[in-house]
Amino acid sequence: MLRALELAAQGQGRVEPNPMVGCVIVSDRQVVGQGYHTAFGQPHAEVEALCQAGTAARGATMYVTLEPCCHQGKTPPCTKAIIEHGIRRVVIAAGDPYQQVDGGGIDQLQSAAVEVCSPVLEEDARELNAPYFKLVETGRPWVIAKWAMTLDGKIAARTGHSQWISSQPSRQIVHRLRGRMDAIVVGRGT
């Protein structure tokens, strides 16, 4: 599942408003397929991994970071592809609260005699997709407030001149976070 979470993160900034999802297929302790959702409207992680695995998917275990979709959207339902490829067991990090899924993916898999194990590393999966879960579960956006200040609580040098008061590592983190945001609000002097 850790590998699936790593793969999922590679979709950051390209899959929104969908969540980042990663998938690994294992047969006889060997990875036979892996994938992630590469871009909005493109095949989902499960389909990418199934294509890579080919016939080796039959009887295998799939590790996926989010409950597989079970409805027709821009892409066909992942549950259908999983069942058709003969996956025996699906391990899911977190359920998908989206109203067209919300347990339906698990139900479809179990109805087709696919063993389902969930949740596994749910906290990690939810953290990875915090903006998605916040919006789907509450109808409100995920908001981050960020500012830099000196140890004495100031946001500029004593002279009033602006200067970098945050470190290079913190600026790199902020840059990565900005890539995940739907909107950024800044002051007029920024």
In the chain, the number of structural domains is 2
**Residue 186 pLDDT:** 78
31-35, 102-106, 163-167: range with lowest mean pLDDT: 163-167
Same domain, 155 and 134: no
How do residues 83-119 score in pLDDT, each as one tens digit?
999 999 999 999 999 988 999 999 999 999 999 999 9
**Mean pLDDT, residues 70-93 taken together:** 94
- State which amino acid sits at residue 150: T
- Give the per-residue pLDDT at 188: 73
Residues 91 and 128 in one domain: yes
Do 46 and 108 fall into the same domain?
A: yes
Q: Which of 6, 16, 46, 123 is catalytic?
A: 46
CATH number at residue 89: 3.40.140.10
124-149 confidence digits (pLDDT tens): 999 999 999 999 999 998 888 887 77
* Residue 170 and residue 119 in one domain: no
Same domain, residue pair 126 and 84? yes
Task: Tell me what the pLDDT averaged over the chain comes to.
Answer: 90
Active-site residue flag, 46: yes
Among 138, 154, 174, residue at a domain's last position? 138
Domain boundary among 138, 160, 175: 138
Residues 77 and 32 reside in one and the same domain: yes
| 117 and 172 both lie in a single domain | no
Residue 130 shares a structural domain with residue 177: no
Higher pLDDT: 67 or 179? It is 67
Please indicate, yes or no, whether residues 124 and 188 belong to a single structural domain of this protein. Answer: no
Same domain (yes/no): 30, 118: yes
| Residue 49: domain span | 2-138
pTM, rounded to two decimals: 0.84
